[in-house]
Each structure stands twice: as C-alpha cells, then as structure tokens.
Amino acid sequence: DTGVSQNPRHKITKRGQNVTFRCDPISEHNRLYWYRQTLGQGPEFLTYFQNEAQLEKSRLLSDRFSAERPKGSFSTLEIQRTEQGDSAMYLCASSLQGEQFFGPGTRLTVL
C-alpha cells in the first residue's frame, strides 16, 4: 500500500496526558500537512512542512502542540497536557504540488 498511513488509528487518553501521532506520507511527496476535523465540520489546517522544514503554523496550533518531520519523510504531531477540546480527528495529507492525498486519520478522545 503506497498511500498515506497514520498511527494509531484511535487514541483514548485522560485529560492532562501527552499523546503523539505519526504520519507516513507517500514516499516521493515533499509537502506534508496536518489538519484537524471535528464533528460536522470540514478539516481545518494546522501546519505544513516542505521536506523537513515547518513553514507554516495555524493560530489553531497552541503552544501545547508541536510537529516535526525530522528527515523529510514521516512526521509526528505531539499534544501536551491534552484537554477535552482536543478531541477530534487528526488528518495527515501529503502532496507534490496538486491535490493532497489524505491518510485515514487518528481519532483522539480526551476523557
């Protein structure tokens, strides 16, 4: 399977805990995006990498959120001190220049 993969698919955590998600993009794609989707809404942009450089962050991305793409391949998104409002689907997408290809997402539930 050469699509975008994300792990884990589901994560349940208690408020205050840290969580980390992983995204493996399509191998030749240099652009990588993280989005967040809540119920009844479309995906909202969080951050963007071109190769290993994080070039843009949304104001939605509070200082509890950090993302990395250390070797320009896979990426991780960490949320520290999770809050109930962080419960959402976290989507990763990759592209060259045209359409973005999405992974299946990681559904986070913060209790």
Partner 1 sequence: DQQVKQNSPSLSVQEGRISILNCDYTNSMFDYFLWYKKYPAEGPTFLISISSIKDKNEDGRFTVFLNKSAKHLSLHIVPSQPGDSAVYFCAAREGRDSSYKLIFGSGTRLLVRP
Task: Answer yes or no whether residue 83 interacts with partner 1 by CB under 8 A.
Answer: no
- Give the list of residues 6+ apart from residue 2 with CB closer than 8 angstroms, or none: 26, 27
The nearer residue to partner 1, 27 or 97, going by C-beta atoms, is 97
Residue choice 28, 42, 59, 71 for contact with partner 1 (CB under 8 A): 42
Residue choice 18, 41, 51, 109 for contact with partner 1 (CB under 8 A): 41
Report the C-alpha gap between 70 and 73 in whole angstroms: 7
Restricting to residues 11-30, name those near partner 1 by CB under 8 A.
none
Number of residues near partner 1 (by CB under 8 A): 27
Three-state secondary structure readout of 18-43: CEEEEEECCCCCCEEEEEEECCCCCC
The nearer residue to partner 1, 53 or 84, going by C-beta atoms, is 53
Report the C-alpha gap between 101 and 77 in whole angstroms: 18
The nearer residue to partner 1, 13 or 100, going by C-beta atoms, is 100
Contact residues: partner 1, CB under 8 A: 4, 6, 31, 33, 35, 40-45, 48, 50, 55-56, 91, 93, 95, 97-105
